[in-house]
Amino acid sequence: MSDNIGVTESPLEGVKVLAVEQFGAGPYGTMFLADLGAEVIKIENVNIGGDPGRYTGPYLLGDADSEYFQSWNLNKKSITLDLKSPDDYARFLELAKDADAVVNNLRGDQPEKLSLTFSALKATNPRIACLHISAYGRDNRRAAWPGYDFLMQAEAGLMSVTGEPAGPPTKFGPSIIDYMTGMTGMVGLLACILRAKRTGLGGDVDVSLFDVALHQMSYAGTWYLNHGHVTHRQSRSAHFSVAPVQTFQTSDGWIFVMCMTDKFWQNLIGAMDLCGLGSDSRFATSPKRRENLSQLVEVLDDRFGQKSTTDWLAALSGLLPVAPVYDMRQAFENAFVDEVGMVQTIPHAANGSLRVLSNPIKIDGKRPAARAAPLLGANNDEFLHLSPSQGESRS
């Protein structure tokens, strides 16, 4: 294990979170709380086999576990409760008495039905913070609609600005809206927990996949709202307004170049022996370079094609922001990944060991140590005084 792994004092030590969650947005967000020391108790309905992510392939890990599931549930605990059962809901309320938060990522109409809202729980614990992560929110006509990440990328316009201009609308590779919604929810939840510590009163926090997806349109959305400007897909992943900021093909691959400032532009043409471009009126400013981008790319393409990606990285790194464009294998075999400790090897009961991604946050110079995600109902005895097998047989 890298010597930058293992936080000495976990900042969320003593925070207790009950998580009624499945798949991506909720589990991804609460994993950050667990990594930073919170006790995250994952509540799973054994009648449906728990979180469906446990069975999502292609790489399964023994009984009710998978690498897909491990990716979002490190450092948590698991108990099995059917919240529609009066007896199990009573057990849930006992756990909620001293909890700081309840998190769910159910359909927007479900928290009210399952009594997971602040109004339902405040008599049990007036300082509890209740986070609701849903597809479209809880206070509108779509509250009961199911929804997933890719649908949000489609409707919020993100797919319209992703990919090549001549290609079809394209989604991001990973489920980035799930992850962004999970993290947005954690910011709101922690704010509510801090307020509760100050005032003694918790509350409801709501985030939705749709709202977060639309918010990711950021400045392109602001341009449209104020000027009716419609941003379109750009060739070679180019920036919408600054140039040259895009990919270029080298003799053996691709490189991403980002001249976000005039200084970086000057450094680029100096290192590439293209100083004559500095006095060319077509490229004198960033707006000019954007206006005459096709002509500029023609010149830069010719020069980049004369050397390898490695050669150009050696010439340009440190002078301006550049990066190689890697495939999956190259990205994870990159020596820099190990150098910064972004991969950990952890024990796993069924697999022996498992390599997982480290948390990207460092506390006092160290990343949180990872612990494998729990087996279904692994902590029934600790919290419910039931073994996992008893939990499985309980109606």
| 139-178: pLDDT as tens digits | 999 999 999 999 999 999 999 999 999 999 999 999 999 9
For 382, residues 6+ apart whose C-beta sits below 8 A from its C-beta are 77
Cβ burial 285-311 (10 Å sphere, 16+ → b, else e): ebeebbebbeebbebbeebbeebebee
The bridge status of strand 254-258 relative to strand 322-324 is antiparallel
The pLDDT of residue 388 is: 63
Looking at residue 385, what is its pLDDT?
A: 84
pLDDT of residue 390: 58
Tell me how far apart the alpha carbons of residues 340 and 352 are, in angstroms, rounded to a whole number: 24
DSSP string, 128-155: -EEEEEESS-SSSTTTT----HHHHHHH
Residue 207's beta-bridge partner residues?
133
Q: 3-class DSSP state for residue 303?
A: helix
What pLDDT is attached to residue 1? Answer: 47
pTM greater than 0.75 (yes/no): yes
Q: Are 151 and 142 in contact (CB under 8 A)?
A: no
Contact by Cβ (8 Å): 161, 232: yes
Helix, coil or strand: residue 187? helix
Residues of the chain with pLDDT under 50: 1, 393, 395
- Range list of H helices, the chain: 25-35, 67-70, 86-96, 110-113, 118-121, 149-155, 176-199, 209-215, 218-227, 262-271, 286-291, 293-304, 309-316, 328-333, 335-339, 380-384, 388-393
Q: What is the pLDDT of residue 395?
A: 43
Amino acid letter at 146? P
Check residue 322 and give its pLDDT: 98
- The candidate with the shortest Cα–Cα distance to 96, out of 81, 74, 75, is 81
Whole-angstrom distance, CA of residue 269 vs CA of residue 276:
8
Q: pLDDT of 316-339, one tens digit each?
A: 999 999 999 999 999 999 999 999
Helix (H) or strand (E) run with residue 206 in it = strand 203-208
End-to-end CA separation in angstroms for the chain: 43
